[in-house]
Amino acid sequence: MTGRVPRFEPDVALLDIGLSEIDGYELARQVRRKGNTKPLLVAITGYGQTEDRLRAQSAGFDYHFVKPVDIDSLLKVLALL
């Protein structure tokens, strides 16, 4: 053992936009700021207007789902991994 903590590198992250400490947009920006194309970022939100979708895309989300999420659509996205 090298004494280092292993890095957690998920393939996908399902993020609610309305997080308490930091909103999902900012979290996505921070992940993408490092130049990472992984993980696949999926927004799960109650905000579904065109400007909300564009804001999510601009922040770095790959997909945008409005609550309640259609499970079949989400499973299709996850099957791409």
pLDDT (tens digit per residue) in 59-73:
999 999 999 999 999
Q: Could you tell me the pTM of the whole model?
A: 0.85
**In a 10 Å sphere around its CB, with 0-12 CB exposed, 13-18 middle and 19+ buried, how is residue 56 labelled?**
buried
The overall average pLDDT reported for the chain is 90
Assigned CATH for 12-79: 3.40.50.2300
Is the pLDDT assigned to residue 7 strictly greater than 50? yes
Residue 24 CB burial class (10 angstroms; 0-12, 13-18, ≥19):
buried
Domain boundaries, the chain: 12-79
Helices (H) and strands (E) in the chain, counts: 3, 3
pLDDT at residue 16 above 70? yes
